[in-house]
Amino acid sequence: MQTSYRSSARILLPVRPWFIGCSLAVALLLNLLPTSLWTGLPDWLALLLVFWSVREPRRVGMGLAFLCGIAMDVADASLLGQHALAYVLAVYGGGSLSRRILWFPLGQQALHVFPLLLLVQLVQVAVRTVAGADFPGFGYFLGPLLATLLWPVLTFLLLLPQHQPADHDANRPL
Amino acid sequence: MENQPPPFFKRGPAPLALLSFYVALSVALLVVDARMQALEVVRQAVSLFTQPVQQLAHLPAQSIASAGDYFVSLAHLRGENARLQQARMEKATTLLRTQQLEAENDRLRKLLGVRERQQARGQVAQILYAARDPYTRRIVIDKGQQDQVVAGLPVIDDAGVVGQVTRVFPFVAEVTLITDKEQAVPVQIVRTGQRSVVFGLGNGQLELRYLPANADVQNGDVLVTSGLDGIFLPGFPVARVVHVERDTSYSFARIFCMPLAGVENFSEVMVLDQRPPVVLPAELAQETGRETKPLKASSARKKRLRRE
């Protein structure tokens, strides 16, 4: 875990791999909720993949992103490879910018993440436009904006399991 | 060989190499799926894993809906019951006469030596959800390969044509609605008997294309399936004309229609069985020297179906 100047001032415990898997599974579940009528909901799976690729670039790589993308494509009835391509590109971006992003405080981290999430939507629009679909409207790009606003909350929640001290002291509350 | 770094920091292939590999793989998948439609088996295999997750995701909504049903007021149900009774009485006269008319029609057809009309048969399916893809108009129904649903079957509801099955999974099937941008239905205008093809626009409306600017089409005209495609039985209501734009600078009129079926609503639908193949007379079959499979020969066949 990289410690940096302000973003994670405290030294964190190492992440548990099953926690990453569970959070990704929950994100997939959230993505598949019957919310197709509301445009502008964030793509949870993309957000979680970018989060873990920034936090743990060694563990969450492009292979996992590709598999998640294929699962999304099938569940979504979209072209096979559409989500996969978008997620792979976003995770590559997140992984290669990870050391830079983690140096910033949370607000500025979110600003770095926004273009990555926008890239996910742009790639999908480009793929579908080439395949002959119509432009789905600007509400489609509201999702990354919401996801960016959620970044600080998400960071706090997902890093909670790593906040406990390694050696448990009965006389200390946390 | 001797100048290689020690294997302390083994991290697999370089990120850029991995990226180009996965991007190439995705693009290959995209091209194969969009152009050749050869990946249905892969889709069905992956759906075995995603389908349970999808069902899990729909549990909350379903339980909320069923809880809502439970608390529906008695007065509401009474009102609905009364309405349905009235509707049934209103329809009874027509229905009773329909039976007699059908019998008469059968007799007359036999007298004339015309082939008997095909009866529509099918199975009722529940709409599970609308597909999440914002670019297409599709719904998912709870009948799949297990129920002998195959791609290409027409789907109707109580008011008219809903769409066509385009993708079949083991337990569910995807139905492309007639309002989808890639869906076309051969239709006939009831008032004039004019045949044409109605295309989806992707925004909940349909467009009747390639009719001349002076074509005899009015607002309120009802379109029914013409049955020329060999897929839909003739006579199912499809849409009603809502707006006709006649611009003399174009050679075709722009005719907008609204679907008659509750295409965008959630309800129950009926998946019709496949139409029996039309057999060409023997002399015609020899002339063409081809198989007389109507689905292959029909010229008005859907663009979508060509993929299956």
SS (H, E, C) B205-226: CEEECCCECCCCCCCCCEEEEC
Q: Examine the domain organization and report whether B188 and B63 are in the same domain.
A: no
Q: DSSP for chain B?
A: -TTSPPGGG---S-HHHHHHHHHHHHHHHHHIIIII---HHHHHHHHHHHHHHHHHHHHHHHHHHHHHHHT--HHHHHHHHHHHHHHHHHHHHHHHHHHHHHHHHHHHHHHHTPPPPPPP-EEEEEEEEE-S-TTS-EEEES--GGGT--TT-EEE-SSSEEEEEEEE-SS-EEEEETTSTT-EEEEEETTT--EEEEEE-SSS-EEE-S-BTT----TTPEEEE--TTSSSPTT-EEEEEEEEE--TTSSB-EEEEEESS-TTS-SEEEEEPPPPPPPPPHHHHHHHTS---HHHH-TT--TTGGG-
Q: Examine the domain organization and report whether B48 and B154 are in the same domain.
A: no
Q: Which residues of A touch B140 (CB under 8 A)?
A: 77
What are the pLDDT digits (tens) for B199-257? 988 888 899 888 888 888 888 889 999 888 888 888 888 999 998 888 878 888 889 99
Shortest CA distance to A1 belongs to which of A52, A65, A63, A62?
A: A52
Residue A33: closest C-alpha in chain B: B57
Q: Examine the domain organization and report whether B172 and B57 are in the same domain.
A: no
End-to-end CA distance of chain A: 20
> Residue B302: inside a domain, yes or no?
yes
Alpha helices in A32-79 (DSSP H): 44-55, 62-76
Q: Examine the domain organization and report whether B51 and B161 are in the same domain.
A: no
Is B153 within 8 Å of B143 (Cβ atoms)? no
pLDDT of residue B296: 40
Exposed e or buried b per residue across A107-117, where buried means at least 16 C-beta atoms within 10 angstroms of its C-beta: eebbebbbebb
Q: Examine the domain organization and report whether B62 and B138 are in the same domain.
A: no
What are the pLDDT digits (tens) for A59-115? 888 999 999 999 999 888 888 889 999 999 999 999 999 989 988 888 899 999 999
Q: Which residues of A touch B57 (CB under 8 A)?
A: 29-30, 32-34
Residue B215, domain CATH? 2.40.10.350
Beta bridge partners of B199: B184, B207
pLDDT band at B40 (very low <50, low <70, confident <90, very high): confident
Look at residue A109 and give its three-state secondary structure: helix
Asked whether the ipTM of the predicted complex exceeds the cut of 0.85, the reply is: no
> Residue B113: inside a domain, yes or no?
no
Distance (Å, rounded) from C-alpha A33 to C-alpha A15?
27
Q: Does B46 touch chain A (CB under 8 A)?
A: yes
Q: Work out the average pLDDT over B171-182.
A: 88
pLDDT of residue B117: 63
Q: Does B18 touch chain A (CB under 8 A)?
A: yes
Q: How far is B96 from chain A (nearest CA, A)?
A: 42
What are the pLDDT digits (tens) for B97-120? 888 888 888 888 877 766 656 667
> Residue B126: inside a domain, yes or no?
yes
Q: Which domain holds residue B57?
A: 16-70
Largest CA distance in chain B: 96
What are the pLDDT digits (tens) for A14-38? 888 899 999 999 999 988 887 766 7
Least confident interval from A6-10, A151-155, B86-90: A6-10
pLDDT band at B299 (very low <50, low <70, confident <90, very high): very low
> Residue B219: inside a domain, yes or no?
yes
pLDDT band at B54 (very low <50, low <70, confident <90, very high): confident
Beta-carbon contacts of residue A61 (< 8 Å; ≥ 6 apart): A53, A91, A95, B18
Q: Which of B30, B53, B70 is the last residue in one of the domains?
A: B70
Q: Does the pLDDT value for residue B138 go beyond 50?
A: yes
Interface of A with B (CB under 8 A): 25, 28-37, 39, 58, 61-63, 65-66, 69-71, 74-82, 84-85, 88-89, 92, 95-96, 127-128, 131-134, 136, 140
| CA dist list (Å): A97 to A51, A92, B224 | 12, 8, 58
Comparison of pLDDT for B100 and B283, the residue scoring more: B100
Q: Does B266 touch chain A (CB under 8 A)?
A: no
Q: Examine the domain organization and report whether B200 and B306 are in the same domain.
A: yes
pLDDT of residue B198: 92
pLDDT of residue B298: 42
Q: Which of B70, B86, B114 is the last residue in one of the domains?
A: B70
Q: Do B181 and A127 touch (CB under 8 A)?
A: no
Q: Examine the domain organization and report whether B163 and B242 are in the same domain.
A: yes
Comparison of pLDDT for B65 and B19, the residue scoring more: B19
Question: What is the residue-averaged pLDDT of chain A?
Answer: 85
Q: Work out the average pLDDT over B276-280.
A: 71
pLDDT of residue A51: 94
Q: Does the pLDDT value for residue A52 go beyond 90?
A: yes
> Residue B106: inside a domain, yes or no?
no
Beta-carbon contacts of residue B45 (< 8 Å; ≥ 6 apart): none
> Residue B140: inside a domain, yes or no?
yes
Q: Examine the domain organization and report whether B133 and B211 are in the same domain.
A: yes
Q: Examine the domain organization and report whether B150 and B266 are in the same domain.
A: yes
> Residue B181: inside a domain, yes or no?
yes
Residue at token pair 């598999």: A67
Burial class of residue A18, CB neighbours in 10 A (0-12, 13-18, 19+): exposed
Q: How far is B127 from chain A (nearest CA, A)?
A: 13
pLDDT of residue A46: 93
Q: Examine the domain organization and report whether B40 and B168 are in the same domain.
A: no
B37: left (phi over 0), alpha (psi -120 to 50) or beta: left
Q: Work out the average pLDDT over B126-143.
A: 83
Q: Work out the average pLDDT over B52-78.
A: 83
Residue at token pair 């894993």: B49
pLDDT band at A122 (very low <50, low <70, confident <90, very high): very high
Overall domain count for chain B: 2
pLDDT of residue B5: 62
> Residue B286: inside a domain, yes or no?
no
